[in-house]
Chains A and B, each alone.
Chain A
Amino acid sequence: MTPPLYIALRFLTHRKRALLLSLSGVVFGVAIFICTQAQTEGFARHFIDSTIGSNGALVIKSRFRPRYEPLMVSSKTSNGKAPRRLYFEGITDANEIMRVSRQFSNVVSCSPVLRGTVSARAGFENSTVDLYGIEPVLHAQTTDLLHQLIAGNFDDFRNNTSAIIIGSRLAEILQAGIGDTVQLLSPNGEYWRFTVAAIARAGVGSIDATRVYSHARIAQTLLQRPFGASMIIYKLRDPDRAPALARHFETLFQHGASSWQEREESTLQLFLTLRMSAAITVSLIILLAGFGIFNVLTMSVLAKIKEIAILRSMGYRRTDISWIFLWQGALIAGAGSLLGCLLGAIMTWGVSHIPIRIRGLLYSDYFLVTWEWRHYVFATLLAILAVFIASYVPARRAAELPPVATIRGAR
């Protein structure tokens, strides 16, 4: 143990009230930071997992129309933006695209979907629904549909072409349960009867309130589409690399492709804003703790002015004196961060067990939290930075104290 650390430890432990005050500021700052980040990211992570689990990490849509560049130079009044991209509706060569895209290492599986909007009726209840015509086995491999089922049986759906799976909120709206009949209105005005084989809960309000899964061939006939797929959804090994793969697929297949980040940009921005807001608020708590430590250490320098002079007379260097106070800050930051991380984990666990009924953008019966080591590292770094700044000024001041003036003053 270095002499400054030895002396710093003794100075700290002999001023218990000041130590407790400084320590509690850091502990609560770090703990609240971790807890709020765990909550805000918990909701965001739940949304991301749910949306990727239902809609895939990457989606290929309709094919581009060939673009013919104008031969004439554009007028001066034109704003220079590229013209809007046009598409042929649907995917005609879905199997070939899927065969090629399966060669990519990041692709786990893919599934064609024929999507359309229709009206649904059950008893006296009506609702506009988002119909997903799927290949049951492929879709189950590509999405979390199997895990999302809260009632019914997937095999009942797979083995029966007139069966459907409906979203949990939609089931409430239509007041339909397992085995009930739901009618879907085709574009020619004809109602098709389906049996509810299962009910799925994605956890995202917009999906659960509108989603209906049927067999792809049935959906194609009902929607009267000439093509069997309007999109292909992908499950990726690394969803974070979806934007790069989407750009690559656009070039390769000449079809529109969008990553989950692009698709959910506005919602993700909302979560990011909330996280930033919470982080800024809690950072202020840590900064306030730092201000408290600054006061405590400044008072300590004033209280130990005589000891500093005597240490200098015994051969302690200016840097040793600085280190005595920097070590005090470091010990507070270290112990405070450690205890703060522990308290943060306990608070996060406690918050995750608070019952709360969320039925909107997300579906949950409890506060959603995420256990992310980065929150602990970031909170610790923030605390260390705040405490270092808070202890640097008093440490420097202590080092610059002229010992002779103090000794003369004490006479």
Chain B
Amino acid sequence: MNAEICLSCHDIERYLGEEEERVHALRGVSLALAPGSIHAVVGPSGCGKSTLLYILGLLDPPDAGQVSIDSEPVSHLSDDAMAHKRSRFIGFIFQFHFLMEDFTAQENVMIPMRRLGQLSDDEMRERAADLLQAMGLGDKLRRPSRHLSGGEQQRVAIARALANDPRVILADEPTGNLDTANSERAFELLQNIVQQGGKALLLATHNPVIAEACDWIHEMKDGRITASHPRGRGKFDFLSRSNAEARLN
């Protein structure tokens, strides 16, 4: 396996549900992310995009196959060890920002740092302030998260995902809940972070504009990656078919 690969999965199988409702959600999916690259996973709802992200993010165990971080297999690790890997190497961004309502914007960004425990309280506070400043929220550090607008909340969520300086960012429809202007702004922020920080970004999206701006596009259907193309090459059925609808997101 390529030494440059920071996160990969190989032949991932995943079933969801029980008995009659059991669904084969992922069928032999393999993927590799290199630092400094942005990958988009596209496909219709229910095709397994989010399931793949959760498995790559060590939140959900695969039924078969292997996930590796820096070429080191991690699927066999204990729950605590996987939690530590998640804390150190992976940043999550969700469609619904999932901020902690009882905390301010700055405190939300500090929560992952507290778990990792590598910085002092003042250092954490300073880093959170810097991250929020970079997101254009320098004047709203102490504002309770519930008092921020949708776009601001998602930018806090991005800052939180970057709190522990992770190698990989996994974003599940990060702009799905934002208007066009905020979508573009959030994606630009992510692009800058990946390019400047040498991180890998994998995002699941329905937005063709965002997908087209990524370095790699992986098309999924029925739990399989049916096609993987670098930017500007290939023709995507999904994009041409649902272009008009997807832009509404």
Contacts and interface: CB of A to CB of B under 8 A. Distances in A.
| Co-complex (A, B) | yes
Interface in B60-84: 60, 79-80, 83-84
B100 A307 contact: yes
The listed residue with most A CB atoms (<10 A of its CB), out of B50, B92, B95, is B92
B96 interface: yes
A188 to B, nearest CB: 92
Contacts of B98: 306-307, 309-310, 407, 410
Interface stretch (B31-39, B112-120, B147-155, B221-229): B112-120
A14 B111 contact: no
Contacts of B54: 404, 407
Nearest to A403: B59
Given A313-B57, A315-B88, A14 B80 contact: no
Nearest to A402: B60
A314 interface: yes
| Chain A interface extent, by class | 20 to 34
Interface in A116-143: none
A338 to B, nearest CB: 24
Interface of A: 3, 6-7, 10-11, 14, 306-307, 309-320, 403-404, 407-408, 410-411
Contact of B86 (A306, A314, A408, A411): A314
B59 A314 contact: no
Contact of A314 (B85, B92, B107, B172): B92
13 contacts: A3-B114, A3-B115, A3-B117, A10-B107, A312-B59, A315-B88, A315-B116, A316-B83, A317-B83, A317-B84, A318-B80, A404-B54, A407-B172
Contacts of B139: none
B191 interface: no
Contacts of A313: 57, 59, 86, 92, 94
Contacts of A6: 114
B168 to A, nearest CB: 13
A3 B111 contact: yes
A318 B79 contact: yes
B20 interface: no
A10 B103 CA distance: 8
Given A313-B57, A411-B95, A7 B111 contact: yes
A310 B112 CA distance: 10
A307 B98 CA distance: 7
Interface string B168-196: 00001000000000000000000000000
A307 B100 CA distance: 6
A317 B79 contact: yes
Contacts of A315: 83-88, 90, 112, 115-116, 164
Given A3-B111, A404-B54, A410-B96, A312 B83 contact: yes
A411 B96 contact: yes
B102 A11 contact: yes
Interface string B111-136: 11011110000000000000000000
B100 A310 contact: yes
Given A14-B102, A314-B112, 15 more contacts: A3-B115, A3-B117, A6-B114, A10-B107, A310-B100, A313-B86, A314-B87, A315-B115, A317-B80, A318-B79, A320-B115, A403-B59, A404-B54, A407-B94, A411-B50
Nearest to B85: A315
A247 to B, nearest CB: 59
